[in-house]
């Protein structure tokens, strides 16, 4: 069992921004890469770059790092998480019917799917799952779980696989690395009790939405409130998500009004908020366009050339760091 109770965990939902700020402070090359990525994203938005019509499938490797058997999540639990990701990113999740009517026209099929890798980095067959026992009782947001030398599991090549680490992550539910960072730490980390929709997944984070949220970050989405505390001045760089004061927790009711955003209020049903899994239902069209920009740029190694060419049709290409 985690040492973090549900009340504490609400306010330690996601460590992506602390990790992002630490990297800005310590890695000048990351800051430069992030600026270039955002410039390219803005360029595509300005010229209304075409969306990809074909589904992009991303190979996934799940690193299960465990000390206690409870942390060693089952194949069934891993499969349940992949299923959730494919429902959520394709807008085929059954609970999409619960999106408030005013936002239903904004909900988007991102045309992104996820599949456990079938070929390992050396070209051999694989299940897409790496199981690594460890002497470490828990991991934090220092990326230790991503290195065998620190008790974790080394990343597979980040230009060919989405690395997901599942471990006893304390005190966070998960975190991700935005595109533009080092390949050896690129990917997503999820707590074993917030992963998938069966097994050790524990309510209220037992429907797999932590991984959906963190992979949103991996595809360059920001938190919906813009990470400005509660000042109403933050920006997630997406025009169809309402301005809101800060994260929502629990299961809000519609409308929840902040920052003068009446009558519809905060889009707390968005995967990039902090609500409980049963209250998250959607990405917006604007968020999907931003993910497209990521796939056209820093994550382009996952996109077949014919699809990539279509995504750049009519857009002048500027070099973007991988």
Copy the structure tokens of residue 7. 């009340």
- Supply φ then ψ for residue 288, to 5 degrees: -65, -35
What angle separates helix 28-46 from helix 16-26, to the nearest 10 degrees? Answer: 120
Ramachandran quadrant class, 143 (left: phi over 0; alpha: psi -120 to 50; beta: rest): left
Q: Which among 138, 214, 276, 289 is annotated as catalytic?
A: 214
To the query of whether residue 214 is one of the catalytic residues in this protein, the response is yes
Helix (H, G, I), strand (E, B) or coil at 107: strand
Q: Which segments of 200-284 does DSSP mark as H helices, in order?
A: 209-218
Burial degree of 203 (CB within 10 A; 0-12, 13-18, 19+):
exposed
What is d(CA 133, CA 115) in angstroms, rounded to the nearest whole number? 24
In angstroms, rounded to a whole number, what is the distance separating the alpha carbons of residues 173 and 320? 31
Choose among 181, 184, 151, 182: nearest CA to 168.
151
CA 147, CA 176: separation in Å to the nearest integer?
15
- Pair of tokens at residue 314: 């009519």
Residues marked active site are found at 214
């Amino acid at each position: 069992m985690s040492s973090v109770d549900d009340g504490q965990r609400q306010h330690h939902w996601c460590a992506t921004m602390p990790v992002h700020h630490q990297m800005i402070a310590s890695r000048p090359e990351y800051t430069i890469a992030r600026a270039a990525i955002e410039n390219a994203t803005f360029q595509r938005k300005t010229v209304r770059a075409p969306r990809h019509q074909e589904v992009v499938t991303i190979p996934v490797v799940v690193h299960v790092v465990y000390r206690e058997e409870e942390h060693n999540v089952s194949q069934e639990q891993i499969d349940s998480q992949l299923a959730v990701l494919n429902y959520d990113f394709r807008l085929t999740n059954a609970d999409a019917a619960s999106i408030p009517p005013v936002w239903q026209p904004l909900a988007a099929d991102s045309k992104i799917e996820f599949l456990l890798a079938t070929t390992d980095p050396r070209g051999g067959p694989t299940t897409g799952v790496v199981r690594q026992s460890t002497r470490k009782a828990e991991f934090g947001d220092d990326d230790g779980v991503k290195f065998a030398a620190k008790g974790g599991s080394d990343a597979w090549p980040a230009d060919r696989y989405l690395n997901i680490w599942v471990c006893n992550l304390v005190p966070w539910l998960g975190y991700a690395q935005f595109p533009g960072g080092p390949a050896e730490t690129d990917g997503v980390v999820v707590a074993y009790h917030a992963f998938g929709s069966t097994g050790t997944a524990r309510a209220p984070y037992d429907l797999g939405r932590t991984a959906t949220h963190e992979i949103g970050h991996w595809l360059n989405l920001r938190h919906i409130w813009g990470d400005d505390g509660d000042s109403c001045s933050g920006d997630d760089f997406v025009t169809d998500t309402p301005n809101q004061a800060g994260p929502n927790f629990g299961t809000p009711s519609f409308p929840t009004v902040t920052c003068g955003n009446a009558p519809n209020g905060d889009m707390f049903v968005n995967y990039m908020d902090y609500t409980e899994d049963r209250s998250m239902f959607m990405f917006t069209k604007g968020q999907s366009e931003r993910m497209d920009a990521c796939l056209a740029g820093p994550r382009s190694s996952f996109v077949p050339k014919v699809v990539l060419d279509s995504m750049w049709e009519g857009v002048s290409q500027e070099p973007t760091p991988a």
